[in-house]
Structures are given as structure tokens and as C-alpha cells.
Structure 1
Amino acid sequence: MNTSMDSLNTTQRSNSSGGDGDLRVTFPTVLSLITFLTGTIFNGTLLVVFAKDRSLRTPFSVYLVNLLLANFTCSVILYPMDFISNLHSAQWLIGNQACTAYLYTTCVIEAGIFHCHLLIALNRMWAVVHPISYRSIHSTQTAVLLCLGTWVYIHLAALPEVVLDALYYRLPVETAGCIINVAENPLRSYDRVAQLLFYHLPHLLMLLSVPIICCARRRSGLRKQNTVMPNYSIHPHTRVLTDRRGTQSSNTVLEGADRLQGIGGKSVAGIKARTRKLRGFLLLLLLTSSVTICWLPIDVYYTMNSQIEDFKDELFFQVAETLFSLQTTVDPLIFMFSMKNLRVALRRLVHC
């Protein structure tokens, strides 16, 4: 989470571990190892699938690859260091450079993961609320630029505090642990604003996107039901398209039948389009639900910790931290569950 959260995180682990230098296998140690293995394998496997299968390279898949890359980076950098730190009773024994990489991941990459989820929600909302502009404007280039712009914004807003700490204000990591020296860092007052911008606001926007999409889908369905269509029929023997007065249309046979099916919204292309929209909405619904379950407890814990002096609840903290760590592993599983073409591509890759 943000810098104040990392400080509390390290302090809480130190208090619970006793502060000695012995190797100690605790629940946070095992959790870090499991998250490292599952997050690296699941996210890395899907990245290979997207790289190998050209049929998956759509504009929308750019947002999925963006999230998988952020999860993979977090799994590879953050959780191995967490494992080593927890194994040594929360003492930091791997040096300043490793600490800088650790703080960069917790302050920048994790904030980016929140916004990767937000980009998926905004994309689905754009596709449903304004489908015409979405089809005319959105492309692979648009998706790439949106993802790059988001990461630039995250780095400009979150990176300065890490850089200032590494250059001027960091305490000795051997004794103080890998934390940002918030007491002397001039950006200390920015922490609460950063917590709101990087964590609470993206989560709120994701929650709001679901009812907005539901309302837009309902309005679109009502408009289609109220649309008055021509009363065309197909002659059972000649297969000629006629209107209600019995006059033959200038269009013949199968072409007329195909157009009639298209008018009624029952064409194969129409069914496939609706299926894709339903799967996209299912993906958003599952991601929003998992984000709420995995992120809300840790948000509540650190909000209460910042508002209530000496607030500590070890059980609440461990449960919240466990759920938060699961999100890295849950994301690729949700992609697999909600995307049939991704499952097919993975089977092809495994069989090869």
C-alpha cells in the first residue's frame, strides 16, 4: 500500500516476531512464499499465452496484459523480499538497493495495479454507455496510450517520496528496517492525499461502474424493444421476402432471409456481439467483487489506524493482509474463468 502503510506493516511484523535474528517460519512467511509462487506462475503463464496466440491480441486485451504485467512484477520483486524479511523476524538484511526496489514496488507498482483494474472498469463502461464512440475511437493504439499515460501519472505522483527517501532521509535498514522515514520526508503530509487518489478513489469508481453499466444495458434493451420494425415475412415455398401486402421485395431469397434475421437481431454476428458484451460484463463483475473482498479490509484497517491512536488488531491485520495478497493470484484465475478464448489458447499452448 502507500508509505505510511508500509511503515505500519514492518513495525507490526517486528512487534509480533519478537525482534530476534533467528530464522522463524510464521504465517506471513508462508503467505509470502505461496503468493510469490502462485502469482509468478499464473500471471507469467497467461503472459506467455497472450504473447504466443495472435487471436488474443485485441484492443481490450491490452488492459489485461497491463494488469498481468503489474501483478507479475509485484510477485517477482515484492514477495521474495517479504519472504526473506519475515524469515529473519522482519529484519532487513539484503541492503539499501533491495530496499529501494521493495519500496518502489509497494508505493508505485501496487498503486498502478489499482489503476489497472480501474482502466478495465472504465473501458467496459465506455463500451456500454457510448458504444458508437467506443467503436469509432477505441483501438489498440488508444489502449496502449491510456495504459502508458496512467503509469506516467502514477510515477509522477508516487515516485518522488521514494527517491527523496533513498537519497536523503533513509534510516539504516539493518536497525530500522526497510521503511520510508516519514518523520523527516517533506512529502509526509501528502500520504493521506495519495491514499485517497491511489487506492480509495479507484475502488469507488470501480464500484460505481457496475450500476452505471447495468442501467445503460437496461436502457439499450428498452430502446430495441420499442423500435418498430417492418412486418416482413418469408414465403414458405419460394423463400422470397415479401411485405405484409404480399408484394415481393426486390431482394431475393437467401439474401432476404439473412437480412430479415439481421433486422430481428438474431443473426450469428449479433449473437456473438451480445455474448462478448456479456462476458466483458462478467469479467468486470468478478474483478470488482474480488477487489472489494481483497482490498476493503486492508483499507479499513489502515484508515482506522490513521484515525484512532494506538489502534492495533493482530488478527484483523493478518486477515486483511492475506486477502490483499490473494488479489495477485485471483486476477489471472478470473481471466481464465470468464474468457473462453483464453482457455482455448492455453489448452493449445499446453498441447504443443
Structure 2
Amino acid sequence: MDPLFNTTDVPNWTTRSNDTNNGTMYWNQFVQPVWRIVLWAIAYSCIVIVSVVGNVTVIWIIMAHKRMRTVTNYFLLNLAFAEASMSAFNTVINFTYAVHNEWYFGLVYCRFHNFFPIAAVFASIYSMTAIALDRYMAIIHPLQQRMSSTETKVVVGVIWVLALLLAFPQYYYSNTDQLPGRVVCYIDWPEYTVCDFKKMYYVCVAILIYFLPLLVMGCAYLVVGLTLWASEIPGDSSDRYKEQLTAKRKVVKMMIVVVCTFAICWLPYHVYFLLHQFFPDMFEEQFIQQVYLAIMWLAMSSTMYNPIIYCCLNDRFRAGFKQAFRCCPCVPRGSYEGLELKSTRYLQTQTSVYKASRMETTVSTVLQSGDDAEQPKVKATAVSGPGVAGVGARPHSSSLDLTSNGSSSRSVSKTVSETSSFYSSNNLQE
């Protein structure tokens, strides 16, 4: 009855004597009424639909747009893949098995069912840990070289290798058993006289995929938060500095919300299984099934919140979601140009730059036509007499003065180019 840590060495059965028939009849005390199963099915179906659709959309936004392929987003891509996979392959099966504790899916899927969720949770939380450490290095040690895309992919690969190694014991010891009236999927842990391998494994898993990474992320974001929010912005600081600081704060704020959501959703689950290891008698009561279904729903729901958080707190993800769901009548049209996602501020800046370019072109055209209009007068006056040189020089110098006072076309163009470059690079950091 437990998806990640299947601790049912002897499945939950109750025996009672049957007066009408000779012998003993076995019955399953975890069978629920239909109305309760329907309500739980609706609750779990909402998780699967929102999680799979949301995380697949996040994967599309990052993979289909070059501007989104940053170090942070590569880890978010890995996080979205792990969460979508766990929702698609495990949530429905977990619910089906937890409803009345009977396994219908064979030995192969039993092993996968016990193996994959631990690997997916490990990959998810260590992707968040990698983002926290990357943010720490970028903000606390900005002069050090950042990870390249190749190095990021290597880190993601290492995370998955470690995740598979940690989950391998659950795959190796998983088994199915035919009991009177039903089949169960459980983990047949070996028994050692020196130590309790099962308890040791679950304690290590809880530390490695929950408490340790949360401690690391908490320390990293505490230092980053003090650096970004505790210090005052200098009064004479440039607009570029303020824009970069605001962009960094947005990213860190979004990741803190993601981490806190994960911690809240998974805390009851880990507490439940740690208590199960040390106080197993508490979990033989019938009401514990409802407690478990509620705790598992909360843990599995963590897979559906992240896309919502990205959409609410990040301009470019919001633009991507609007583009992906543009056919829905309730979704407003967003700013989207080709395959490049741009924030609203960036588009407004680009519009201003475009207007400045148009103004520059207009001024240059007026100056050029004014200069051309003066030239015939110079030539006409040159025929009349000795005052030619003075009259001919004035229009030319006037043209030079106008160009100088309005700043040269090359200077204006350079300023416009620099402004566009700054806002473009600053938008990439958000």
C-alpha cells in the first residue's frame, strides 16, 4: 500500500472464523465503499492531468526556444521531466494499489513501481539543489566562471546515475506473491543479524532525498537572500545595476517558493514512513488507509505546482504558457514573436528603440534635404559677384552645426544599439 517505500513484508490481512463453512476465511479490511473511491479517484486524476500537461508544457517552452536554454532552465527541464514521468507512470498505479491493496500489474511493473519514484524524487530535489548552488555562485562569487551547457548536462547525467543507484535495492528485492484471493506487490528485504537493513535503508533514503538537500538549499538561499535583500541599493547606482538586481531577486524568489512547496508536500510522507519503521503497530488500523491516501495525495501533488509557480512568477514562462494554450478562450493573448519569448518590458523597450530609430532616420532625411536645398542657392549667388565666398560658406557651416547639435547619425545609432543590447542581455537573466 505504499508507493515509494513498500514496507509490507506481510501484507495486511485479517483472519476470522467462519461458522457456516469449515476452515478460516481471509478478508481485506482495506476495501472502501464506491463513493469514497470515486472522490479519491477525482482528486488523483486532477494531479495527473495538471502535472503531465503543465510539465510537458514547461519542457516544450525550454526545448523549443533558444533564449530559454540557460543553466537554471536545464535543471528546471530535468525537474519537469522527473515530475511528469512520476505522475504518468506511478500516481495512477499508486492510487489503484492503495485503494484496496491488490496488485494487478505483474512482477515487472511491480519492480518499476518500487524503483522509479525514488529515482524521480532524487532527481527532482537534486536538480533544485543544483539550481540553489548555481544561484549562490552567480550572486556571491560573480567573478568565477559559470557552468557551460555541456557541464550542466553532465551534472544532470550524474544526478540520474546516483538516483538509479540509490533506488536499485528497491528494484532488486521487489517481488509479487499470490495470497488467497489476491496478488500483492512487496519488497522482500533480507534479514541480517548484525543490523536491520530495511530500517537503515529507509533512514538513509529519507536523509538523502529530503533532509540533506533541504539543509543545503536552506543555507544557500539564506546567504543569497541576505545578499540580495538585506543590502540597500546605492543611491547613485545605474539603471542597469538596478535591473540586474531585480532580475536576480525574481529568479531567487521563484526558486524559494518551489523549494518550500516541495518541502511542505513531502514532509508528512517521510514522517509517515519513518514512524512506520519504528512503530509498525500503529499502521494496522483501518483508518490509516485514509490517512495514507491523504498523505500520498499531498506528496504526489508536488508534481503539479511547479508549472503554476513558473507561470505566475516568470514573464517568459508566462508568455510560453499563453502561446501553448492560445486556443483556449479564457487565456489572454501574450507577447510572443516567432520562436523567441520576450517579456513585456523587453517588447516595450524594443518599441521605444524602434521609435528612436525612426526619429533618427527622419532627422537625417530632413538635414540631408535641407543641405541639398541650400546648395543651389550657393551656386546661384556665386555668379553675382564678390560676396560669393561668404554666402557659400555659411550654408555649409550651418549644415555642419545642425548635425553637430543634434549629435551625429553614427552617435545616435551607437546609443540606440547599446540600449537595445543592454535590455536584451538583462532580459536573459530573468
State the Cα distance separating 1:321 from its structure 2 match.
Answer: 2.1
Q: Which residue of 2 aligns with 1:85?
A: 97
Q: Counterpart of 2:177 in structure 1: which amino acid? A: P
State the Cα distance separating 1:304 from its structure 2 match.
Answer: 2.6
In the alignment, is residue 172 of structure 1 matched against residue 177 of structure 2? yes
Equivalent residue runs for 1:137-156 within 5 Å? 137-156=146-165
Most deviating of 53-62 and 18-27: 18-27
Q: TM-score, normalised by structure 2?
A: 0.62
In the alignment, is residue 329 of structure 1 matched against residue 304 of structure 2? yes
Q: Counterpart of 1:153 in structure 2: which amino acid? A: L
CA distance in 2, matches of 1:182, 1:48: 41
Contact 1:32 1:82 survives alignment (8 Å): no
State the Cα distance separating 1:70 from its structure 2 match.
Answer: 0.3
Distance 1:191 1:83, change over 3 A: closer
State the Cα distance separating 1:4 from its structure 2 match.
Answer: 7.6
Which secondary structure does the structure 1 equivalent of 2:282 belong to? coil
Q: TM-score, normalised by structure 1?
A: 0.74
Name the count of aligned residue pairs.
305
* Identity rate, percent: 17
Q: Which has the larger radius of gyration?
A: 2
State the Cα distance separating 1:339 from its structure 2 match.
Answer: 0.9
Q: Which residue of 1 aligns with 2:206?
A: 195
Contact 1:298 1:320 survives alignment (8 Å): yes
Q: Which residue of 2 aligns with 1:99?
A: 110
Task: Name the Cα RMSD after superposition.
Answer: 3.5
Distance 1:173 1:97, change over 3 A: farther
In the alignment, is residue 305 of structure 1 matched against residue 276 of structure 2? yes
Contact 1:35 1:329 survives alignment (8 Å): yes
Unpaired runs of at least 5, structure 1: 230-263
Contact 2:79 2:128 survives alignment (8 Å): yes
Q: Which residue of 1 aligns with 2:170?
A: 162
User: Per-residue displacement from partner, 1:225-257 (whole Å, max 9, x unpaired)?
Assistant: 5xxx9xxxxxxxxxxxxxxxxxxxxxxxxxxxx
State the Cα distance separating 1:82 from its structure 2 match.
Answer: 2.3
Which secondary structure does the structure 2 equivalent of 1:310 belong to? helix
Q: Which residue of 2 aligns with 1:233?
A: none
Identify, as 1 or 2, the structure richer in helix. Answer: 1
User: Per-residue displacement from partner, 1:175-214 (whole Å, max 9, x unpaired)?
Assistant: 4522211255995343322221222212222233332222
Identify, as 1 or 2, the structure richer in strand. Answer: 2
State which of 254, 260, 263 in structure 2 corresponds to 1:289. 260
Q: Which fold has the larger relative contact order, with Cα–Cα distance below 8 Å and residues 6 or more apart in sequence?
A: 1
Equivalent residue runs for 1:1-352 within 5 Å? 5-7=5-7, 18-19=29-30, 25=37, 27-86=39-98, 89-133=100-144, 136-159=145-168, 161-166=169-174, 170-172=175-177, 175=182, 177-183=184-190, 188=198, 189-217=200-228, 221=231, 225=234, 264-267=236-239, 269-312=240-283, 314=288, 316-351=291-326
Contact 1:3 1:107 survives alignment (8 Å): no
